[in-house]
Amino acid sequence: MGRGIAFSSDGRYLITVSNGVQIRVREIAEKSIQLCGSYSEHKDRVRALRFSHSGNLLASAGYDAVIHLWDFESGILTPRQALPGHEGTILCLAFSPDDQFLVSGGVDTGIMVWRLSETEGQYVLFQELPGHTSWVNDAIFHPDGKTFFSGGSDNMIRVWGYDGEQFAEQQAIKTHSSSSWVQALAMTPDGETLASGGSDCCIHIWRFENGAWIRQTYLRGAAACIMALDFEKEGQYLASGTKDRWVSIWRKHPTFYSLEKALSEHSGSLFSVSFSPGGEMLATEGCDRQVKIWNIRRK
């Protein structure tokens, strides 16, 4: 997913960090992008942003090892809650579809699961999940709300399932080549396809068959690490961003993917890619501290 960029649920606002401490809110008009405000609660650089599925809550995290939760309304962020607990940089965040759970992971190799308290309206630590032996770089929930995936620098994708009482590991997938790592994950809205990317410069496509996630195919073409992935709302297009600054748009077919577009206007590594809710725009962010919005015209 796009870790450092996030569209609001109506697609009207784009939240960015540009590898800095401040969180910026931009309004997207028909022919312009206007800065609405800048916010700073973090003491160090922000690495991850994620909207709740309701769209009225934003989570942010990064080098200060604290998750900050923000109420969001009409382009305005209001601090709501701080969640300390990690022992190092937080690299990824993921809300469950019903927003009852928030998952976080980072350089301390642990995954923390936070649960929304019905009585207090605050998130509290629900469970800590060991398993990864190196950095947890990305996490994403399945649409069923009971399963989430984590990808790490230990070259593993771990599948976690909720049985009504707690989360437990259901499958451990050794994904890429032996010396590589998993950097990015994305899932189609129907929950049928999982994509992973990493330092082997390939995108791996996974499908659930006979009770397990099995690799269906993989996409070649990149010359550097896959840093970010995102599917658009219908799951027919997949965007990837690489360390050598390329953005690629892949089109899904019944048994394969075709490269539709390759874009390059950043001057450095891509950190984040994110489709707008309607799928007509793609936002990208790189280490050049530039945020670009692309109009995606489908064939």
**82-113 pLDDT per residue, tens:** 999 999 999 999 999 999 999 999 999 999 99
Helix boundaries (H) for the chain: none
Smallest Cα–Cα separation from 169: which of 130, 197, 133? 130
- Quick one: tokens of 21? 């401490």
CB-CB contact of 174 with 133 (8 Å): no
Cβ partners under 8 Å of residue 118, min gap 6 = none
User: Which CATH number fits the domain 5-295, given the four candidates 1.10.10.10, 2.130.10.10, 3.40.50.970, 3.40.50.1100?
Assistant: 2.130.10.10
**What's the half-sphere exposure (Cβ side, CA atoms, 13 Å) at 159?**
19
Average pLDDT over residues 55-72: 97
* C-alpha dist (Å) from residue 182 to 39, 73, 139, 195, 196: 31, 34, 11, 11, 7
**Model-level pTM?**
0.94
**Does the pLDDT value for residue 213 go beyond 90?**
yes
Q: For the chain, how big is the Rg over CA atoms in Å?
A: 18
Cα–Cα distances (Å) from 41 to 66, 82, 202, in that order, read 10, 9, 36
Express each pLDDT in 191-212 by its tens digit.
Answer: 999 999 999 999 999 999 999 9
Q: Is the pLDDT of residue 2 over 60?
A: no
Give percent of the chain above pLDDT 70.
Answer: 96
Q: Which of 290, 239, 248 is nearest to 268 (CA)?
A: 290
Gap between the Cα atoms of 70 and 203, Å rounded: 33
CA-to-CA dists, residue 113 to 24, 137, 165, 238, 246, angstroms: 26, 15, 13, 28, 33
Spatial separation of the C-alpha atoms in residues 93 and 74, rounded to whole Å = 23
**Per-residue CA distances from 243 to 16, 61, 71, 73, 105 (Å):** 19, 22, 33, 34, 21
For residue 178, pLDDT beyond 70 = no
Amino acid identity, position 6:
A
- Tokens 């620098």 found at: 153
* Domain extents in the chain: 5-295
pLDDT of residue 1: 54
